[in-house]
Chains A and B, each alone.
Chain A
């Protein structure tokens, strides 16, 4: 047997998208959806059965932003073993940055018609724009903040946490505390982010009316393209040596350290990158749903996000996307048809998945197919394990 067999000499593209069957199928589906859904919406007449309504289009766009968020979490949880219960915070911060831009775009079309101040500030009797709202009338600045604010928060938080080796449960709990504290803060009117009601009543983005069909299609496409880019970058990281190091840290943190990796730095960068992805997802989400409020920071949202990834299959990027789609579709369906059942169903799903499908749907499929397919390497029998046949303490 030649030992060279393992060495991958494939092109980058093949490595990223064609490395396994799951990735191939996922990528094909995603591409098809990106192209077909807008066509079905714009070109197919409304009375046709194939027509995709504006509602469905926006709903799918929302799911796409959730999928990007799920990828962000999967990167830290599935590949680096950091269970963040605060990723909704980064999502919401990105959303707020976008919301602030959209708020400034309203200009004097608000209820109070004040060209400088958003309605809620006029209502609170504020005289001038707070300093942290400066610049948000510029799209590029808002987009910069979408990346910088979550990234910086994650960097500072991670720098503190990983350096002092806060791991496992402790980390989960303080990330939860982080998002909870932010939620409480954003609920305060004094913070200057619209308090309880958040930011809403958006009119247009980059001069295009948010209610227009074409704008909706553009937002859908933007979400799909960002998901593809996010997926590609995440896949690139995972396939690189850096990806192997993060998995190594997930599985045997001490070993990684003693081999010479500065574990806290690796965790920090993965965490920060993940937060940036989450922020971008939030920024895509807000113009499509038309509102952002402090409820988005709620710890419940972060945990729900964990469930998407758990259901889809953590440690598989497309698993995270799949989970985001399935759980959110179920949520949309149940809350419309049987609202009382939704929490029972969601709760039951948590329990079922953790006990019976620890690797999620994709993990389950992978397990089933590998059983059918004997060509993949079978595990060697553990005949020597746990035995110390000759131990001669008595010699001493």
Chain B
């Protein structure tokens, strides 16, 4: 059965081959296109409005001959179903649909020409054959585009379905391509087709190229070579090819595994950076002041909402909004933190369990406040251009910019905090008060102010964490609760009162979590981490890096 099917598809592709060969020789060659005027371009466009699809095909072929800046755009519009003709004069327009009307725009200038009812213009219909042809033409035109990025994207698109016609087009461009990346991708794209060839030498060469590229597509292409029939013996007869393919498959898999490892590691570090941002403020309020701030998550939430409000205030400068939001969120959360400290916590020092209850009350109030002010629904915060997208390291490994920036930002915050605690007067006071309040007071440190500022600092950092989180998740009234338990876990795991412990705790928990996930699933991974921490605390009740000495025991 399998063989029969194979025959069929071969026959099909042979017919396509003939067709494309014929058409391709006439039209698709690069450099043969003629430059034409706008008027001629419009004329040739009107030919698209034919009843018969064969006539449309001819019109499209003709259109492709002309080297007009808008050719590719018009073809894409036709493919997307945005090309309309006005019934009154049969002229062709780009149309934008509204609820009741069609906005007709000029195909070249894109100026709005007319707004008509839905019945007054009709879409230029296409069938599958035409769509296929259009895609081919568009990619061919994209391949000759001046921007290497466009060319690269086109090759990538064509790689998805290796076929004779596409591979033939690609072949024409390999020689003239001067961008290394695009050229490599082109070679891989061709190899993906060649690897199916019956010619042994072509097949072997294609395998070699695929071995270098080590993407998932290559892996599947090589696997196809090693396909087995129902008797579990290879369909491929040539032992040399089989052996070679096996070798290539091995090397691809090793590389994929390696990149997979790197990717998981990055995701782990990224999760770790989020945990660290959320936990580090807590490490200060909990570790230095002995306050269990259950409202910490809500301070993160306030930071995220601050980002949202800032974006509302400066809708035209989304690019800078995040940069403005960082200090703003620090201030908002910091001031709220100082209010909590002055209003509530100062009466509760030395009674950590009661700070837990009171701040939990605060967290409920803040949640409800946000619900009342902004609505209980999630708000989405826009990601600035420079933070979106990914850094494509190679065909399999890509690092998204938002996660990368957050990782860097988190390290920056951590270092700043270390500097504040180690190098500034405030840091000196904070350490003094945390170690011996009475003595610090006797030395003239105004401990109430230090308490307020310390709490403000911890809270402010929570706000900054909220800005970062707003770039990763939805902003909503419940977002704080999602982080509070994790944050406490990190602090307790790392060892209270130890910033480096928090750092290592967050990063290792993040990485372990991400490495567990593929094996156990996300929820189970989290449960396992929680159970691990519960057991770990039994073994080391004071965390990874405990404070020692008599003072630590009270």
Contact = CB atoms under 8 A, between A and B. Distances in A.
Contact of A350 (B360, B489, B492): B360
A181 B353 contact: no
Contact of A169 (B352, B365, B371, B481): B352
B371 A170 contact: no
Nearest to B290: A169
Interface in A172-198: 172-174, 176-178, 180-181, 184-185, 187-188
A238 interface: no
Interface residues of B, number: 41
A188 B523 contact: yes
Contacts of A180: 485, 530
Interface in B277-294: 286, 292, 294
A164 B539 CA distance: 7
B488 interface: yes
Nearest to B539: A164
Interface residues of A, number: 43
B479 to A, nearest CB: 15
Interface in B471-500: 481, 485, 488-489, 492
A343 B530 contact: no
B537 interface: yes
B492 A173 contact: yes
Contacts of B362: 347, 350-351
A177 B488 CA distance: 9
B538 A161 contact: yes
B364 A185 contact: no
Q: Is the interface of B mostly helix, strand, loop or mixed?
A: helix
Contacts of B364: 343-344, 346-347, 350
B358 A177 contact: no
Contact of B361 (A157, A164, A350): A350
B480 to A, nearest CB: 12
B364 to A, nearest CB: 3
Contacts of A350: 357-358, 360-362, 364
A322 interface: no
A358 interface: yes
A36 B516 CA distance: 57
A321 interface: no
Contacts of B344: 351, 355
B350 to A, nearest CB: 12
A299 B485 contact: yes
B270 interface: no
Contacts of B348: 354-355
B537 A351 contact: no
B541 A166 contact: yes
B365 A348 contact: yes
Contacts of B533: 174, 177
A205 interface: no
A83 B360 CA distance: 14
Given A173-B488, A184-B523, A187-B523, A343 B367 contact: yes
Interface stretch (A67-75, A210-218, A302-310, A371-379): A302-310
Contact of B541 (A165, A188, A344): A165
A47 interface: no
A335 to B, nearest CB: 12
A163 interface: yes
Given A184-B526, A340-B371, A343-B368, A174 B358 contact: no
A135 interface: no
A353 B344 CA distance: 11
Contacts of B530: 177-178, 180-181, 184
A31 B325 CA distance: 60
A89 to B, nearest CB: 12
A340 B368 contact: yes
A160 B531 CA distance: 12
B253 to A, nearest CB: 30
Contacts of B43: none
A166 B365 contact: no
Contacts of B356: 83, 169, 172
Interface string A13-24: 000000000000
6 contacts: A166-B538, A176-B488, A177-B489, A306-B357, A343-B371, A344-B365
- A-B interface, 7 closest residue pairs, ranked by CB to CB distance from nearest: A350-B361, A347-B364, A347-B365, A343-B368, A181-B530, A347-B361, A351-B361
Interface of B: 286, 292, 294, 344, 347-348, 352-354, 356-358, 360-365, 367-369, 371-372, 481, 485, 488-489, 492, 523-524, 526-527, 530-531, 533-535, 537-539, 541
Given A169-B353, A184-B530, A306-B357, 13 more contacts: A168-B353, A169-B292, A170-B541, A172-B292, A173-B489, A174-B492, A176-B488, A184-B523, A299-B485, A303-B294, A344-B368, A347-B363, A350-B357
Interface of A: 83, 157, 160-161, 163-170, 172-174, 176-178, 180-181, 184-185, 187-188, 299-300, 303, 306-307, 310, 340, 343-344, 346-351, 353-355, 358
